[in-house]
Amino acid sequence: MPATATESLPIASADDVVVVRQRVRELAIMLGFRLVDQTKLVTAASELARNTLQHGHGGGVQIVPLLNGSKKGLRLVFEDHGPGIPDIALALTDGYTTGGGLGLGLGGSKRLCNEFSVESEPGRGTRVMIARWA
């Protein structure tokens, strides 16, 4: 599929997390991302896909190629209908975890991207948007 079309991928299993990571890398390469920028975007995508599966009980991601003049990028929008995040500021704090990990996932993903936003409502799910420019 060309790097100009929006894609939607499900996140319902560990295999889906791998597919998201692979597709994001493929598109980043097609759009001309340098290796370091590919790695940052793929790392953030992998973490957010895993969060969507583990904490959101599954959902999906929309992958949107971006073009701003000669500048190219990718926007990823992860959505789930899980329990939501009761305190987003706390969830972004390094070291805070509800899943037994290192507590670097959400905040780390934010640091790896040029754009980042989180919307969440307890009991209704979470939407995380990231974007990285090549």
pLDDT, tens digit, 9 for 90 and up, residues 31-71: 999 999 999 999 999 999 999 999 999 999 999 999 988 89
Which pLDDT score is estimated for 9? 98
Distance CA 129, CA 79 (A): 9
What's the mean pLDDT when you consider all of the chain? 90
Does residue 92 have a pLDDT over 50?
A: yes
Which pLDDT score is estimated for 105? 76
Pick the CATH number of 7-133 from 3.30.2000.10, 3.30.300.30, 3.30.565.10, 3.20.20.80: 3.30.565.10
User: What is the token pair recorded at 105?
Assistant: 């996932």
Helical H segments across 5-72, by residue range: 14-30, 35-54
Closest CA to 127 of 90, 69, 75, 67: 75
